[in-house]
Amino acid sequence: MNINGTAHRTISLDESDSEVPLVYTIDQRFLPHELRRIALKTSNDVATAIEEMWLRGAPLIGAAAALGFYLGLREADPATWDRDIKKLTDKLLRTRPTAVNLHWAVARQLTAIEKGVSYDEKIGIARQTALDIIEEDVAICKQIGEHGLKIIEYISNQKSKKIVNVLTHCNAGWLACIDWGTATAPIYLAHQKGIAIHVWVDETRPRMQGSITAYELAQQGVPHTVISDNTGGLLLQQGLVDLCIVGTDRTTRTGDVANKIGTYLKALAAHDNNVPFYVALPSHTFDFSISNGLTDIPIETRSEQEVLEVQGVHAGELKTVRLFPTGTRALNYGFDITPARLITGLITERGVCEANEEAIKAMFPQA
């Protein structure tokens, strides 16, 4: 998608110096104030970037892990290959526990390199697999957009083409993927098609991913308004939301959804007000091995500081300001679980299905 009129992607591999491949990404800590590109040189750099949320969002985390795996293979010593690969795998998997895309990408790499005979061949396969994951993600998000667009078009027609108001939580946009985004892809396509649309953007405390969503939407010229996390319920009661679309970090085979903390409360309020609540996801965000979101999905606990302090950029530098009294404790869960019963539908690259085991299985029979 565009930044200042120029098309960008969130991550890429630069091999202009074949000795030192670089993973280029956007340091999201500086958004929305500054577009700062950073070069990650080692698998340790990639692990740090994921863990400390310099880059974030389930699909982007998966793509970054795949590239980090490639860099890690290049760093591995043939004499201690198996041990090095095990360490590399553990290091990447430890970074963020909830987004299943990370596990999916690493597992895909591990399976892919089995086919290589020599070490060089394995490294070549890992490189290609990472690049494939990136290209596939772009195509998948576009397909999610096309399926989601039909929902927005339907609502627009129902409303005699009056503005369709969408509420979203966190950032499930292109900056959380490679391009297009998941929750935002239908919005971008609707906007491109000339459908009148407006987005309510939850600020999404404590990491303020809403500021990234607002940045994206502004760059594409999509009308939007930021709201504090507590405002959505009232807007839903007032009839000012036509549909909600969010992303997800892991979805069970029964349709329970883990997404950014606060998603559940929005789904409850949407349900209470008969407003459709959709979750947009690529199929690799399903965890087909689990059935109960509440018991089976690990919820990331992040540092207290993220709640007690607020971080922003001032004069090009990251600054931190304390909000609460010294000594105050905070609890900082990164995600919550929205049970399938509160979800109207799952928007995937194959189409829209109900959030239940039967419908998901019918759409993804091979899984």
Instruction: Please give the residue ranges that form the binding site for ligand MRU (CB under 6 A).
Output: 56-59, 99, 170, 172, 176-177, 181-182, 209, 247-249, 259-260, 334
The nearest distance, CB 346 to ligand MRU, in angstroms, is: 13
3-state secondary structure 8-73: CCCEEEECCCCCCCEEEEECHHHCCCCCCEEEECCHHHHHHHHHCCCCCCHHHHHHHHHHHHHHHH
β-strand pairing of 309-314 with 317-322: antiparallel
The nearest distance, CB 217 to ligand MRU, in angstroms, is: 15
Distance CA 137, CA 179 (A): 8
β-strand pairing of 11-14 with 22-26: antiparallel
- Give the bridge partners for 321, in sequence order: 310
- Pick the closest to residue 230 from 200, 274, 198 (CA basis): 200
Q: Based on the number of CB atoms within 10 Å of its own CB, is 150 exposed (0-12), middle (13-18) or buried (19 or more)?
A: middle
The nearest distance, CB 50 to ligand MRU, in angstroms, is: 9
| CA gyration radius, the chain | 20
Tokens of 72: 């890690």
Tokens of 128: 């290609």
- Pick the closest to residue 357 from 299, 290, 294 (CA basis): 290
Tokens of 84: 């090095």
Residue tagged active-site, from 45, 242, 249, 256? 249
The nearest distance, CB 104 to ligand MRU, in angstroms, is: 13
Nearer to ligand MRU by C-beta: 151 or 212? Answer: 212
- Give the bridge partners for 131, in sequence order: none
Nearer to ligand MRU by C-beta: 126 or 347? Answer: 347
Nearer to ligand MRU by C-beta: 156 or 338? Answer: 338
Q: Closest-CB residue for ligand MRU?
A: 247
The nearest distance, CB 181 to ligand MRU, in angstroms, is: 6
* Amino acid at residue number 117: V
- Determine whether 249 is an active site residue: yes
- Give the bridge partners for 320, in sequence order: 311
Nearer to ligand MRU by C-beta: 9 or 122? Answer: 9
Nearer to ligand MRU by C-beta: 156 or 263? Answer: 263
The nearest distance, CB 75 to ligand MRU, in angstroms, is: 26
Nearer to ligand MRU by C-beta: 72 or 181? Answer: 181
- According to DSSP, residue 302 is labeled -
Catalytic positions, written as ranges: 249
